[in-house]
């Protein structure tokens, strides 16, 4: 009986210990700084998404840790929500009126509601005071500029890049496409040879559509369409027809609609597909042993009126909450932290260590940079037209929920390209981008 009781007590203590460890793990990483023991230290609660298998984690996580270690007067409580899960986490915290003091997020397309409701403060005064604008590339603040105010500091750039497996092109004697017609030929030839022409998911197909559209536009045109000042017309119709035609030709893998981006990259790695058009965050995930077979090429021109164009800009930003901004001590600490994450050193590491683009004007060692990123950057420099992507920067946040399924409907041939253009105009009419209003 006594033995049984001891066993029960033992089991109960194990359960209690597990419960406590379960409650502690995963939520807050009480970053190891000496400030923990300093009662006067300013406490900052930080939320970011660059953890676990996220390609940016090897730079962002150590940067936070280093900041915490170097600032005895600031105590960071770091919380993480990997990848897109930060969307729900931040929404819940904002709705509960418990915003983190500092957090990372996308631009206006996902923070518009917070900006409109005043929970993210305008930091243009702080930026001017420190004369920070000069250290960033032109246009870097575009996605966080809203009705004349600036709401975040940029720290990650993006671009869409077209990569081919040159070995497969040579083996099958297929011409590397420079125009849409040549791309169609390549699709047909690879399809006949038993390949999936594009290692793509629905994001890639959307990026293609946006790029063909942008080849006939300039920045002012893009803004005019996104603000409903000018309706979409022939350029979007032609781009939609091209995407629709490629889908009909079987250019994309079976099940590409639900395919994760990393999965589509695996098709490219496995040499089941010779072409790949994706967001630049994937560069760091490319198998280095296969790099010798790969080549980055300019996106094929839609027609004779199209201009070589790369869609590129700034994708991620660091923000502080209004509550932090209104507390002078917290504001100072948060501003220091934001400057660290959106600073030149982190920017350099983004390029050299994790093959990601930076919106900062930084010098880096070209030899240390992933060869694909080097080619992507050269390709951007060569492009006559470098424009922001609609879905990264210019569509109002309410557009995304409707524009993605609408484009999927086009690719699944559920609607005609003409209907696509009409419905896009209706969506924009209902949710125009108002960030440029004063």
Partner 1 sequence: MIQQKRWILALFALPTLLFYTYFFISPVLNTFYISFFKWDGIGEKVFLFLGNYMELLKDPIFYSALAHTLYWVALVILVQIPVGFLLAYFIYQKVKAYKFLRTVYFIPVITSSVAVSLAFSFIYEAQFGILNSFLKLIGLDQFTTAWLTDPNTAMTAVSLPFVWNYIGLMMVILFSGLQSVPDELLEAGKMDGVNSWQKIAYIILPSIRNVLVICFVLGISYAFKQFDYVLLLTNGGPVHQTEVTGTYMYKQGFDESRYGYGNAIAITMMFIVIVFTAIVNKVLQSKE
Residues that bind partner 1 (CB under 8 A): 87-88, 91-92, 94-95, 113-114, 116-117, 119, 196, 202, 253-259, 263, 267, 272, 398, 401, 405, 408-409, 412, 414
Report the nearest approach of partner 1 to the CB of residue 193 (Å): 17
Beta carbon nearer to partner 1, 110 or 216: 110
- Which pair of tokens denotes residue 270? 């496995």
- Which pair of tokens denotes residue 46? 């930080």
Q: What is 286-317 written as a DSSP string?
A: S-GGGGGGEEEEPPPBSSTT---EEEEEEEEE
Strands 74-80 and 275-279: unpaired
Report the nearest approach of partner 1 to the CB of residue 427 (Å): 13
Beta carbon nearer to partner 1, 94 or 168: 94
Phi, psi of 254 (to 5 degrees): -60, 140
Nearest to 396 by CA among 156, 223, 231: 223
Report the nearest approach of partner 1 to the CB of residue 413 (Å): 11
Beta carbon nearer to partner 1, 25 or 255: 255
- Measure the CA angle with vertex 102, ends 100 and 108; round to 5°: 95
Report the nearest approach of partner 1 to the CB of residue 113 (Å): 5
Report the nearest approach of partner 1 to the CB of residue 77 (Å): 22
Strands 309-320 and 153-165: antiparallel
Interior/surface letters 344-370, b for 16+ CB within 10 angstroms, e for the rest: bebbbbbbbbbbbbbbbebebeeeebb
Q: Is 269 exposed, middle or buried (0-12, 13-18, 19+ CB in 10 A)?
A: middle
Beta carbon nearer to partner 1, 9 or 193: 193
Report the nearest approach of partner 1 to the CB of residue 134 (Å): 34
The whole-angstrom separation of Cα 174 and Cα 161 is: 20
Report the nearest approach of partner 1 to the CB of residue 206 (Å): 12
Beta carbon nearer to partner 1, 233 or 401: 401
Beta carbon nearer to partner 1, 113 or 178: 113
Beta carbon nearer to partner 1, 129 or 287: 287
The whole-angstrom separation of Cα 193 and Cα 197 is: 10
């Amino acid at each position: 009986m006594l033995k049984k009781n001891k066993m029960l007590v033992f089991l109960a203590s194990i359960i209690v210990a597990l419960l406590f460890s379960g409650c502690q793990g995963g939520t807050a990483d009480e970053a190891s700084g000496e400030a923990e023991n300093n009662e006067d230290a300013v406490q900052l609660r930080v939320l970011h998404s660059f953890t676990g298998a996220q390609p940016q984690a090897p730079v962002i996580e150590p940067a936070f840790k280093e900041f915490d270690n170097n600032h005895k007067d600031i105590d960071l409580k770091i919380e993480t929500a990997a990848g897109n899960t930060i969307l729900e986490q931040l929404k819940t915290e904002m709705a509960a009126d418990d915003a983190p003091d500092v957090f990372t997020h996308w631009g206006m397309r996902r923070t518009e509601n917070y900006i409109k409701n005043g929970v993210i403060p305008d930091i243009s005064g702080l930026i001017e005071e420190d004369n920070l604008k000069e250290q960033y590339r032109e246009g870097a603040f575009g996605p966080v500029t809203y009705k004349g105010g600036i709401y975040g500091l940029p720290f990650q750039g993006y671009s869409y890049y077209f990569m081919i497996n040159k070995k497969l092109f040579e083996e099958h004697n297929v011409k590397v496409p420079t125009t849409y017609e040549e791309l169609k030929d390549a699709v047909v030839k690879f399809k006949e040879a038993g390949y999936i022409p594009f290692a793509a998911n629905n994001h890639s197909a959307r990026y293609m559509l946006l790029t063909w559209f942008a080849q006939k536009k300039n920045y002012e045109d893009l803004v005019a369409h996104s603000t409903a000042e000018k309706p979409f017309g022939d350029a979007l119709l032609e781009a939609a027809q091209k995407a629709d035609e490629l889908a009909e030709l079987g250019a994309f893998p079976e099940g590409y609609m639900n395919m994760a981006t990393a999965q589509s990259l695996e098709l490219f790695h496995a040499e089941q597909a010779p072409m790949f058009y994706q967001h630049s965050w994937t560069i760091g995930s490319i198998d280095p042993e296969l790099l010798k077979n790969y080549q980055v090429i300019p996106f094929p021109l839609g027609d004779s009126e199209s201009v070589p164009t790369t869609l590129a800009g700034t994708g991620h930003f660091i923000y502080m909450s209004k509550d932090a901004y209104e507390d002078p001590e917290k504001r100072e600490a948060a501003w220091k932290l934001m400057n660290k994450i959106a600073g030149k050193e982190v920017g350099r590491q983004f390029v050299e260590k994790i093959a990601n683009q930076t919106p900062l004007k930084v010098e880096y060692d070209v030899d240390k940079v992933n060869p694909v990123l080097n080619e992507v950057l050269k390709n951007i420099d060569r492009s006559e037209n470098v424009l922001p992507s609609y879905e990264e920067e210019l569509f109002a946040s309410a557009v995304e929920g409707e524009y993605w399924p609408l484009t999927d409907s086009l690719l699944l041939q559920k609607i005609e390209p003409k209907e696509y253009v009409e419905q896009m105009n209706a969506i924009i009419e209902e949710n125009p981008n108002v960030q440029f209003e004063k």
